[in-house]
Amino acid sequence: MIQRYSQPPPGSLLKASAYLFDDLGTESSGRYFGNTCNVMGEILLSRYDQFVLWGVKTHLTTNLTSAEIEQAYGMRMPEMFNLVSFDREAKDKRM
């Protein structure tokens, strides 16, 4: 999974592609040879490297606060994402 979302699609002329990950923070931890692995954390770190090198975009949705994202996935997130938040009572969250 990490490699799939960290590399450009086969035959792509681009260095990498943009991806959208829905509902960050609801995924379960993966296991790799008996070791617990934060799969999305690894993917996001790899996507961050692609963002720095080539400006590749990664989009995500989440119900987590920015502080919770930083704690769970690393301190680089504010550099990589623009935060769009909605009031909890907002009935329509379309932009």
The backbone region for 35, taken as left when phi is positive above 0, alpha when psi lies in -120 to 50, beta otherwise, is: beta
**Within 10 A of 37 (CB to CB), how many other CB atoms are there?**
14
| Three-class SS state of 39 | helix
pLDDT of residue 12: 60
- Which pLDDT tens digit goes with each residue over 35-64? 888 888 888 888 888 888 877 888 888 888
Give the separation between CA 35 and CA 15, rounded to whole angstroms: 30
- Which pLDDT tens digit goes with each residue over 31-43? 778 788 888 888 8
| Least confident stretch, 8-12, 20-24, 27-31, 36-40 | 8-12
pLDDT of residue 95: 64
Q: 1 and 30 in contact (C-beta within 8 Å)?
A: yes
Helix (H) or strand (E) holding 70: helix 66-73
Half-sphere exposure (Cβ direction) of 29: Cα atoms closer than 13 Å: 9
Nearest alpha carbon to residue 17 among 40, 46, 39, 37: 46
- The position carrying tokens 């490297």 is 49
